[in-house]
Amino acid sequence: MFIDEVIITVKAGDGGNGCLAFRREKFVPRGGPSGGDGGHGGDVVMVASQHHNTLLHLRYNPEHKAQRGRHGEGSDRTGHDGRSIEVATPVGTMVYDAVTDELLHDFTTPGDRFTVARGGRGGRGNARFATATHQAPTEHEDGKPGEEKRLQLKLKLLADVGLVGFPNAGKSTLISRISAAKPKIADYPFTTLEPNLGVVRVGDEHSFVVADIPGLIEGAHLGHGLGVQFLKHIERTRLLVHLVDASDTGRDPVKDFEIILGELAGFSEDLVKKPMIVTATKLDVAQDPKRIKALERLAKKRNMPFFKISAVTGEGIEDLKRAMGAAVLGSD
Protein backbone atom coordinates (compact mmCIF):
# COMPACT_ATOMS: atom_id res chain seq x y z
CA MET A 1 0.00 0.00 0.00
CA PHE A 2 1.40 3.41 -0.96
CA ILE A 3 0.72 5.96 1.76
CA ASP A 4 1.98 9.46 0.91
CA GLU A 5 0.19 11.64 3.46
CA VAL A 6 -0.31 11.13 7.18
CA ILE A 7 -0.87 13.10 10.40
CA ILE A 8 1.11 12.22 13.51
CA THR A 9 1.54 13.62 17.02
CA VAL A 10 4.97 14.10 18.61
CA LYS A 11 5.63 14.90 22.27
CA ALA A 12 9.08 15.71 23.61
CA GLY A 13 9.87 14.73 27.20
CA ASP A 14 9.10 17.09 30.06
CA GLY A 15 11.96 18.32 32.18
CA GLY A 16 12.40 16.81 35.64
CA ASN A 17 11.58 18.90 38.71
CA GLY A 18 14.30 20.46 40.80
CA CYS A 19 14.67 19.02 44.31
CA LEU A 20 14.15 20.76 47.66
CA ALA A 21 16.58 19.20 50.14
CA PHE A 22 19.07 20.05 52.89
CA ARG A 23 22.10 18.15 54.05
CA ARG A 24 21.42 16.12 57.16
CA GLU A 25 24.70 14.48 58.10
CA LYS A 26 26.00 13.54 61.53
CA PHE A 27 29.18 15.62 61.41
CA VAL A 28 27.76 18.56 59.42
CA PRO A 29 25.72 20.49 62.01
CA ARG A 30 24.78 23.28 59.63
CA GLY A 31 24.15 21.46 56.38
CA GLY A 32 23.15 23.71 53.56
CA PRO A 33 20.76 23.25 50.64
CA SER A 34 21.48 20.14 48.56
CA GLY A 35 18.59 19.83 46.12
CA GLY A 36 19.79 18.77 42.65
CA ASP A 37 18.48 19.91 39.28
CA GLY A 38 15.99 17.93 37.24
CA GLY A 39 17.12 16.27 34.00
CA HIS A 40 16.21 17.62 30.58
CA GLY A 41 13.45 15.93 28.61
CA GLY A 42 14.29 13.92 25.51
CA ASP A 43 13.87 15.35 21.99
CA VAL A 44 11.90 13.94 19.08
CA VAL A 45 14.20 13.76 16.06
CA MET A 46 13.04 12.91 12.54
CA VAL A 47 15.57 11.16 10.30
CA ALA A 48 15.43 10.68 6.52
CA SER A 49 15.72 6.95 5.83
CA GLN A 50 16.39 5.07 2.60
CA HIS A 51 14.78 1.98 4.10
CA HIS A 52 11.28 3.48 3.85
CA ASN A 53 9.58 4.53 0.62
CA THR A 54 6.13 5.14 2.04
CA LEU A 55 4.55 6.62 5.18
CA LEU A 56 2.64 3.43 5.90
CA HIS A 57 4.62 2.67 9.07
CA LEU A 58 3.50 6.02 10.51
CA ARG A 59 -0.14 5.52 9.55
CA TYR A 60 -0.38 2.72 12.11
CA ASN A 61 1.91 4.36 14.67
CA PRO A 62 0.78 8.00 14.81
CA GLU A 63 1.98 8.93 18.31
CA HIS A 64 5.64 9.39 19.25
CA LYS A 65 6.71 10.38 22.74
CA ALA A 66 10.20 10.94 24.12
CA GLN A 67 11.18 10.13 27.71
CA ARG A 68 10.80 12.75 30.41
CA GLY A 69 13.76 13.89 32.53
CA ARG A 70 14.18 12.40 35.96
CA HIS A 71 13.59 14.62 38.99
CA GLY A 72 16.57 15.98 40.91
CA GLU A 73 17.51 14.38 44.21
CA GLY A 74 19.20 15.31 47.47
CA SER A 75 22.97 15.46 47.91
CA ASP A 76 23.15 17.65 44.77
CA ARG A 77 22.25 14.76 42.49
CA THR A 78 21.01 15.86 39.06
CA GLY A 79 18.30 13.75 37.48
CA HIS A 80 19.08 11.76 34.33
CA ASP A 81 18.17 13.38 31.03
CA GLY A 82 15.27 11.76 29.19
CA ARG A 83 16.04 9.52 26.23
CA SER A 84 15.43 11.10 22.82
CA ILE A 85 13.66 9.14 20.09
CA GLU A 86 14.14 9.01 16.33
CA VAL A 87 11.29 8.82 13.83
CA ALA A 88 12.30 7.39 10.45
CA THR A 89 10.76 9.09 7.43
CA PRO A 90 11.30 8.47 3.70
CA VAL A 91 13.54 10.78 1.73
CA GLY A 92 11.27 13.30 0.03
CA THR A 93 9.02 13.88 3.04
CA MET A 94 7.86 17.42 3.78
CA VAL A 95 6.91 18.11 7.41
CA TYR A 96 4.19 20.67 8.12
CA ASP A 97 2.70 21.97 11.34
CA ALA A 98 -0.85 20.62 11.06
CA VAL A 99 -2.25 23.60 12.97
CA THR A 100 -0.52 26.52 11.22
CA ASP A 101 0.29 24.74 7.93
CA GLU A 102 3.86 26.04 8.23
CA LEU A 103 6.54 24.02 6.44
CA LEU A 104 8.97 22.92 9.15
CA HIS A 105 11.42 20.80 7.17
CA ASP A 106 11.95 19.14 3.80
CA PHE A 107 13.91 15.88 3.82
CA THR A 108 15.85 15.70 0.55
CA THR A 109 18.96 13.68 1.44
CA PRO A 110 19.41 10.34 3.26
CA GLY A 111 20.50 10.73 6.87
CA ASP A 112 19.13 14.27 7.15
CA ARG A 113 18.11 14.94 10.77
CA PHE A 114 15.64 17.47 12.15
CA THR A 115 14.68 18.01 15.78
CA VAL A 116 10.95 18.53 15.44
CA ALA A 117 10.14 18.76 19.17
CA ARG A 118 12.59 19.81 21.87
CA GLY A 119 12.54 18.42 25.38
CA GLY A 120 11.76 20.62 28.35
CA ARG A 121 14.53 22.05 30.48
CA GLY A 122 15.00 20.51 33.91
CA GLY A 123 14.02 22.62 36.90
CA ARG A 124 16.68 23.98 39.27
CA GLY A 125 17.04 22.53 42.74
CA ASN A 126 17.19 24.72 45.83
CA ALA A 127 20.99 24.44 45.96
CA ARG A 128 21.10 26.73 42.93
CA PHE A 129 19.37 29.54 44.84
CA ALA A 130 21.82 29.74 47.75
CA THR A 131 23.60 33.06 48.26
CA ALA A 132 25.69 34.61 50.99
CA THR A 133 22.62 36.30 52.42
CA HIS A 134 20.13 33.57 51.60
CA GLN A 135 21.75 30.40 52.90
CA ALA A 136 18.69 28.21 53.41
CA PRO A 137 16.60 28.70 50.23
CA THR A 138 13.41 26.74 49.81
CA GLU A 139 12.90 27.87 46.23
CA HIS A 140 13.05 25.21 43.52
CA GLU A 141 11.65 24.92 40.01
CA ASP A 142 9.40 22.50 38.24
CA GLY A 143 10.66 21.16 34.93
CA LYS A 144 9.49 22.82 31.73
CA PRO A 145 7.08 20.86 29.54
CA GLY A 146 8.44 19.40 26.33
CA GLU A 147 7.10 20.60 23.00
CA GLU A 148 4.06 18.84 21.62
CA LYS A 149 3.10 19.14 17.97
CA ARG A 150 0.59 17.77 15.54
CA LEU A 151 2.35 17.23 12.22
CA GLN A 152 1.21 16.62 8.68
CA LEU A 153 3.70 14.61 6.64
CA LYS A 154 3.55 14.72 2.85
CA LEU A 155 5.72 12.46 0.75
CA LYS A 156 6.82 13.69 -2.66
CA LEU A 157 8.91 11.13 -4.48
CA LEU A 158 12.38 12.27 -5.44
CA ALA A 159 13.01 11.38 -9.08
CA ASP A 160 15.04 12.98 -11.83
CA VAL A 161 12.61 12.03 -14.59
CA GLY A 162 8.82 11.72 -14.45
CA LEU A 163 6.91 9.63 -17.01
CA VAL A 164 3.48 11.10 -17.72
CA GLY A 165 0.67 10.26 -20.10
CA PHE A 166 -2.75 8.66 -20.38
CA PRO A 167 -3.39 5.21 -18.90
CA ASN A 168 -1.95 2.47 -21.14
CA ALA A 169 0.46 4.88 -22.82
CA GLY A 170 3.31 2.45 -22.09
CA LYS A 171 4.89 4.05 -19.00
CA SER A 172 5.17 0.85 -17.00
CA THR A 173 6.55 -1.09 -19.95
CA LEU A 174 9.16 1.59 -20.63
CA ILE A 175 10.38 1.75 -17.02
CA SER A 176 10.66 -2.03 -16.99
CA ARG A 177 12.86 -1.88 -20.13
CA ILE A 178 15.27 0.82 -18.97
CA SER A 179 15.59 -0.14 -15.28
CA ALA A 180 15.33 -3.10 -12.94
CA ALA A 181 11.85 -2.04 -11.78
CA LYS A 182 9.15 -4.67 -12.26
CA PRO A 183 5.82 -2.83 -12.31
CA LYS A 184 2.54 -4.59 -13.01
CA ILE A 185 1.81 -4.47 -16.76
CA ALA A 186 -1.54 -5.29 -18.37
CA ASP A 187 -3.66 -4.21 -21.34
CA TYR A 188 -6.29 -2.35 -19.34
CA PRO A 189 -6.34 1.22 -17.96
CA PHE A 190 -5.13 2.05 -14.45
CA THR A 191 -2.90 -1.00 -14.16
CA THR A 192 -0.54 1.20 -12.16
CA LEU A 193 -2.20 2.25 -8.91
CA GLU A 194 0.87 3.75 -7.25
CA PRO A 195 4.11 5.34 -8.49
CA ASN A 196 7.00 3.10 -9.50
CA LEU A 197 10.63 4.12 -9.20
CA GLY A 198 13.44 2.75 -11.32
CA VAL A 199 17.18 3.47 -11.38
CA VAL A 200 18.50 3.85 -14.92
CA ARG A 201 22.21 3.22 -15.46
CA VAL A 202 24.15 5.32 -17.95
CA GLY A 203 27.62 3.88 -18.41
CA ASP A 204 29.53 2.51 -15.44
CA GLU A 205 29.44 5.53 -13.17
CA HIS A 206 26.24 7.48 -13.79
CA SER A 207 22.59 6.82 -13.07
CA PHE A 208 19.32 8.66 -12.64
CA VAL A 209 15.93 7.87 -11.10
CA VAL A 210 12.76 7.60 -13.17
CA ALA A 211 9.25 7.72 -11.68
CA ASP A 212 6.31 6.12 -13.49
CA ILE A 213 3.36 8.31 -12.50
CA PRO A 214 -0.06 6.57 -12.57
CA GLY A 215 -2.21 7.44 -15.57
CA LEU A 216 -3.76 10.85 -15.84
CA ILE A 217 -7.12 11.51 -17.46
CA GLU A 218 -8.98 14.63 -18.46
CA GLY A 219 -9.99 16.51 -15.31
CA ALA A 220 -7.27 14.88 -13.17
CA HIS A 221 -6.29 18.18 -11.53
CA LEU A 222 -9.93 18.53 -10.43
CA GLY A 223 -9.91 15.14 -8.75
CA HIS A 224 -10.99 12.85 -11.58
CA GLY A 225 -9.32 9.47 -11.94
CA LEU A 226 -6.16 8.59 -10.02
CA GLY A 227 -3.78 11.23 -11.32
CA VAL A 228 -4.60 13.98 -8.83
CA GLN A 229 -3.22 11.77 -6.05
CA PHE A 230 0.15 11.64 -7.75
CA LEU A 231 0.57 14.88 -9.69
CA LYS A 232 2.47 16.32 -6.73
CA HIS A 233 5.12 13.63 -7.12
CA ILE A 234 6.38 15.11 -10.39
CA GLU A 235 6.88 18.59 -8.94
CA ARG A 236 10.42 17.68 -7.91
CA THR A 237 11.47 16.08 -11.20
CA ARG A 238 13.93 17.87 -13.46
CA LEU A 239 12.60 16.36 -16.71
CA LEU A 240 9.21 15.11 -17.89
CA VAL A 241 8.88 12.44 -20.56
CA HIS A 242 5.40 12.62 -22.06
CA LEU A 243 4.40 9.26 -23.53
CA VAL A 244 1.65 9.33 -26.16
CA ASP A 245 0.04 6.16 -27.52
CA ALA A 246 0.53 6.21 -31.30
CA SER A 247 -1.23 2.91 -31.98
CA ASP A 248 -4.55 2.74 -33.81
CA THR A 249 -6.79 3.05 -30.76
CA GLY A 250 -9.21 5.55 -32.24
CA ARG A 251 -7.81 8.30 -30.01
CA ASP A 252 -6.07 11.38 -31.41
CA PRO A 253 -2.43 11.52 -30.20
CA VAL A 254 -2.30 15.33 -30.61
CA LYS A 255 -5.46 15.79 -28.57
CA ASP A 256 -4.18 13.37 -25.91
CA PHE A 257 -0.97 15.38 -25.68
CA GLU A 258 -2.83 18.68 -25.28
CA ILE A 259 -5.19 17.23 -22.66
CA ILE A 260 -2.33 16.01 -20.45
CA LEU A 261 -0.48 19.29 -20.90
CA GLY A 262 -3.62 21.08 -19.77
CA GLU A 263 -3.87 18.86 -16.69
CA LEU A 264 -0.27 19.65 -15.75
CA ALA A 265 -0.91 23.38 -16.14
CA GLY A 266 -4.14 23.10 -14.17
CA PHE A 267 -2.28 21.57 -11.25
CA SER A 268 0.76 23.85 -11.38
CA GLU A 269 2.09 26.28 -13.97
CA ASP A 270 5.59 25.25 -12.92
CA LEU A 271 5.02 21.75 -14.29
CA VAL A 272 4.53 22.88 -17.88
CA LYS A 273 7.70 24.98 -17.63
CA LYS A 274 9.83 21.91 -16.95
CA PRO A 275 11.93 20.45 -19.77
CA MET A 276 9.86 17.86 -21.62
CA ILE A 277 10.56 15.09 -24.13
CA VAL A 278 7.60 14.00 -26.28
CA THR A 279 7.60 10.29 -27.09
CA ALA A 280 5.31 8.37 -29.42
CA THR A 281 4.92 4.82 -28.09
CA LYS A 282 3.80 1.43 -29.42
CA LEU A 283 5.42 1.80 -32.84
CA ASP A 284 5.12 -1.97 -33.31
CA VAL A 285 1.32 -1.66 -33.61
CA ALA A 286 1.10 1.85 -35.13
CA GLN A 287 -0.37 1.51 -38.63
CA ASP A 288 -0.99 5.15 -39.54
CA PRO A 289 2.24 7.22 -39.89
CA LYS A 290 0.18 10.41 -40.18
CA ARG A 291 -0.71 10.18 -36.48
CA ILE A 292 2.97 10.12 -35.53
CA LYS A 293 3.84 12.92 -37.99
CA ALA A 294 1.15 15.17 -36.52
CA LEU A 295 2.53 14.61 -33.02
CA GLU A 296 6.07 15.25 -34.23
CA ARG A 297 5.02 18.56 -35.81
CA LEU A 298 3.39 19.63 -32.55
CA ALA A 299 6.52 18.78 -30.56
CA LYS A 300 8.67 20.73 -33.03
CA LYS A 301 6.31 23.71 -32.80
CA ARG A 302 6.76 23.70 -29.02
CA ASN A 303 10.55 23.19 -29.28
CA MET A 304 10.38 19.84 -27.51
CA PRO A 305 12.60 16.85 -28.43
CA PHE A 306 10.64 14.06 -30.11
CA PHE A 307 11.26 10.31 -30.10
CA LYS A 308 9.48 7.23 -31.42
CA ILE A 309 9.77 3.99 -29.47
CA SER A 310 8.47 0.49 -29.12
CA ALA A 311 9.05 -0.90 -25.66
CA VAL A 312 8.12 -4.35 -27.00
CA THR A 313 10.71 -4.51 -29.80
CA GLY A 314 13.18 -2.10 -28.21
CA GLU A 315 13.13 0.30 -31.16
CA GLY A 316 14.24 3.80 -30.14
CA ILE A 317 14.67 2.86 -26.46
CA GLU A 318 18.43 3.46 -26.30
CA ASP A 319 18.14 6.82 -28.09
CA LEU A 320 15.46 7.96 -25.64
CA LYS A 321 17.48 6.69 -22.69
CA ARG A 322 20.56 8.63 -23.83
CA ALA A 323 18.49 11.80 -24.32
CA MET A 324 17.04 11.45 -20.83
CA GLY A 325 20.51 10.96 -19.36
CA ALA A 326 21.93 13.95 -21.25
CA ALA A 327 19.09 16.20 -20.08
CA VAL A 328 19.43 15.15 -16.44
CA LEU A 329 23.13 14.42 -15.95
CA GLY A 330 24.26 17.19 -18.25
CA SER A 331 22.65 19.78 -15.97
CA ASP A 332 24.71 18.78 -12.92
CATH number of the domain within which 101 lies:
2.70.210.12
Average the pLDDT over each of 22-31, 40-49, 211-220 and give the range with the smallest value: 211-220
For residue 184, pLDDT over 50 is answered with no
C-alpha radius of gyration, the chain, whole number: 29
Residue 187 belongs to a domain with what CATH number? 3.40.50.300
Contacts of 258 (CB under 8 A, 6+ apart): none
Buried b (16+ CB within 10 A) or exposed e, 172-182: bbbbbbbbebe
Do the beta carbons of residue 210 and residue 198 sit within 8 Å? yes
Of 107, 130, 155, the last residue of a domain is 155
**CA dist., res. 300 & res. 280, Å (int):** 13
Count of domains observed in the chain: 2
For residue 118, pLDDT over 60 is answered with yes
Buried b (16+ CB within 10 A) or exposed e, 286-313: beeeebbebbbebbeeeebbbbbbbbee
Average the pLDDT over each of 194-198, 210-214, 274-278, 286-290 and give the range with the smallest value: 194-198
Q: What sections of 111-208 are H helices per DSSP?
A: 171-178
Q: Which of 115-124, 170-179, 224-233 has the highest mean pLDDT?
A: 115-124
* Same domain, yes or no: 133 and 252: no
Of 103, 131, 155, the last residue of a domain is 155
Of 103, 126, 155, the last residue of a domain is 155
Task: Determine what percent of the chain falls in helix, strand and coil, rounding each to the nearest 5.
Answer: 20, 25, 50
* Same domain, yes or no: 82 and 204: no
* Same domain, yes or no: 113 and 99: yes
* Same domain, yes or no: 198 and 57: no
For residue 12, pLDDT over 90 is answered with yes
Q: Cα–chain-centroid distance for residue 322?
A: 28
Question: What is the reported pLDDT for 6?
Answer: 94
Of 217 and 280, more confident: 280
Region 71-98: what's the mean pLDDT?
Answer: 94
* Same domain, yes or no: 143 and 241: no
* Same domain, yes or no: 146 and 27: yes
Question: What is the reported pLDDT for 196?
Answer: 76
For residue 220, pLDDT over 70 is answered with no
* Same domain, yes or no: 250 and 133: no
**CA dist., res. 192 & res. 166, Å (int):** 11
**CA dist., res. 66 & res. 44, Å (int):** 6
Q: Domain residues for 38?
A: 1-155
* Same domain, yes or no: 29 and 76: yes
* Same domain, yes or no: 109 and 170: no
Contacts of 329 (CB under 8 A, 6+ apart): 202, 206, 208
* Same domain, yes or no: 26 and 101: yes
* Same domain, yes or no: 210 and 147: no
Question: What is the reported pLDDT for 43?
Answer: 97
* Same domain, yes or no: 272 and 322: yes
